[in-house]
Structure 1
Amino acid sequence: MNASTSCQPASTAVLIVNGRGEYLLHLRDAHKPICDPGTWSLVGGGPEPGETPDETIAREILEETGLVLPGVTAYTTVEAHGQDVTEGNIRVYMARWDGVAHDLPVTEGIMFAWFDIATMAQLAMCPWAHEVIKAHHVEHPAPLMPGPRDDVCQGGAGAVKNVIGAHLFLERDGRTLLGRRHPDVDFAGGVWHALAGHVEWESVRACLIREAFEEAGIIVEPADLTLVHTVHLLDDRENAEPRIQLFFRASRWSGEPEIREPDRCTAWQWWPLDGLPDPMVGYTRAAIEGILAGTAYTELGWAPAVPATGGR
């Protein structure tokens, strides 16, 4: 990496770092006439007419990731070299974000992913991007973050996004509807689970209405959905994000459950509330038990909360 501040930058890039000290990388197209094709690199790009570098990087972040990041600050200027390299001097910025990389829209290139500095040594990386990341890592070492179950109730690591899940609780004649997940899905393959989905750019009720129809052909109206239980979940998968699982009871609905997404669900069945199946997703079982007990909230996977101490 060659630091330079004398020349007007021809392009911009941004180091986006999360609370674990990982860097957000963008996999570039492999078969297009662009510089560094097929490599992992940084979000960024060249200016449009009349743009300042600050304006350029804000636009590029929005266009490439859909994000509007606060606190984007200039870090350094580097020079790019090599065949087909067109950037020249690149103004590099830095920013903080703690979201889920694979949830970002991919408007160009192949994908986004988080990588730590050690893993980058095994990647096909854009050379100048790798050099500037290594320099930044020396100046800003990755924080010593606790494991997902070590004193996680203490906080102090900054705001973290929680994934929101919407779940439908249907009850008929003392039975509740559950679906058996396809064996090949990423989460809980072959296990019984409530009808559910991740909330996208929509309200929770809108998500649940959409998922009910898409997955099972069930039609529910918003006015007939009532929140009956919440599970705040931290599971034991590596680097798992905290999740808020919301369970809504439908007072009425239309349609009989049918398998509409066979790659995700292989069966729908009404199970007795006092005879739930096994295997079953643990937090769904806990939520149903909470609903039957009349409780509104369950925590799973978090360390026990430590009471505040002090005197008057």
Structure 2
Amino acid sequence: MTAPALTTTTAALLVSADGHYLLHLRDANKNICSAGQWSLPGGHPEPGESLDDTIARELMEEAGLHIPGLVPFAVVENTDADDRPTSRGQVYIGTWDGDPALLPLTEGIMLRFTDVEQIPYLTMDPGTTAVIRLHQEGPSPDGAAPDALPVLRLRDAGTKTVPNVIGVHLYLERDGKILLGLRHSNSAYAPLKHHFLAGHCERESAIACLIREAQEEAGLVIKAEDVELVHAVHLVDAPGAQPRLQLVFRARTWQGEPQVLEPDKCVSWSWWPADTLPEPTVAYTRAAIDGIRHGRLYTELGWA
């Protein structure tokens, strides 16, 4: 059997003085690696170019960044179903404390500093997640030789069990109108789009998550006995992205009026007629509302 072609890439793990990581949101709906996912800036070497020169060039071309003192940190190796390497990426590490919003980004959607606690809630490139986890586990090497770098081996997502993220959403209807929030322009997910009150399950049941998020995000008090599951959306945002199961619960009764308690995530709450939802609204939010109105319990989105 012929061995798969081995591609080589570079990437940079840039860490601020306060321990935040500079992440790059890649374009979605394109035939590129990690489409629609948060990853590390970097790229492929040109013919005859060293990896050290490659990462320096890519940072400058993509974002106008010149980072002195970059050193090799780790190697990310992807394998196929037979555990044979298909690609290797050398990751460099360095420090930077500038403002990502001021960078002249030429590729992808945006650059932003991200706290490690936010990582589980983002659609992340698996290699980036593994590199950040390695960095969290201990001190980085000081210019280690390439053959002495730790190697992070990642098997193709199609050949192993893939965890699905569980999202919980609140469906409130009053006088024929549905409660939606307008997400902040700097939100990591769906900026400037309308969306359910929602959150990710932590170490808790889905209904416990719903009750907590309703209180934290909008000051609404909901009781478990007043909640029912009305729709589920199983979706994948892009090829290779982590699958997500979005559970939508209706609260038949509640206490309080919606308040903006997390202004960095949501800037307003409004009631919208079900047949004239605002633009833009998150696609799976629309799909769930349509399913609820037509008595369907389940929708799939993004699966080929």
TM-score using structure 1 length: 0.53
SS of residue matched to 1:114: helix
Distance 1:300 1:206 in 2: 26
- The 5-angstrom pairing of residues 151-162 of structure 1 reads 155=158, 157-162=159-164
Q: Distance in 1 between matches of 2:207 and 2:72?
A: 38
Task: Decide whether aligned partners of structure 1 residues 129 and 189 sit closer, same or farther in structure 2, where only a CA change above 3 A counts.
Answer: farther
- The correspondence for 2:119, drawn from 88, 102, 124, is 102
Percent sequence identity is 48
Query: What is the alpha-carbon distance in structure 1 between the residues aligned to residue 72 and residue 119 of structure 2?
Result: 15
Question: Within the alignment, does 1:216 sit opposite 2:221 as a pair?
Answer: no
Q: Tell me, yes or no, if the aligned pair for 1:212 and 1:220 is still in contact at 8 Å.
A: yes
Quote the Cα distance in structure 2 between the aligned partners of 1:26 and 1:187: 22
* CA distance 1:113–1:289, change in 2 (3 Å): same
Displacement after TM superposition at 1:113 (Å):
3.5
Distance in structure 2 (CA, Å) of the matches to 1:160 and 1:132: 30
Question: Displacement of 1:114 after TM fit?
Answer: 2.9
Q: Give the deviation of 1:126 after TM superposition.
A: 4.5
What are structure 2's unaligned runs of at least 5 residues? 1-8, 19-69, 75-116, 122-127, 133-139
Computing the radius of gyration from Cα coordinates, the structure with the larger value is 1
Offset of 1:131 from its aligned partner? 3.0
Task: Summarize the alignment of residues 14-29 of structure 1 with structure 2, pairs less than 5 Å apart.
Answer: none
Deviation at 1:199, TM superposition (A): 0.9
State the 1:241 CA deviation.
1.2
Residue in 2 that maps onto 1:49: none
C-alpha change, 1:29 and 1:285, in structure 2 (3 Å) is closer
Offset at residue 158 of structure 1 (A): 1.2
Residue 201 of structure 2, aligned match among 196, 199, 224:
199
Letter aligned with residue 267 of structure 2: T
Q: What pairs up with 1:287-306 in 2 under 5 angstroms? A: 287-303=288-304
**For residues 219 and 130 of structure 1, what CA distance do their matches in structure 2 show?**
56
Q: Distance in 1 between matches of 2:148 and 2:182?
A: 48
* Alignment correspondent of 1:114: 130
TM-score by length of 2: 0.54
Which residue does the alignment assign to 2:278?
Answer: 277
Whichever structure has more strand as a proportion of its residues is 2
1:259-274 matched pairs, under 5 angstroms: 259-274=260-275
Matches within 5 A, 1:26-41: none
The residue type equivalent to 1:240 in the other structure is A
Is the contact made by 2:167 and 2:200 (CA closer than 8 Å) also made in structure 1?
Answer: yes
Unaligned 5+ runs, structure 1: 1-21, 32-37, 43-99, 105-111, 117-123, 147-154, 304-312
Equivalent residues of 1:27, 1:40 under 8 A apart: no
Q: Is the contact made by 2:71 and 2:143 (CA closer than 8 Å) also made in structure 1?
A: no
The aligned length equals 190
Aligned-pair CA distance for 1:102: 2.6
d(CA) in 1 for partners of 2:165, 2:263: 25
After TM superposition, give the deviation of residue 240 of structure 1 in Å: 2.7
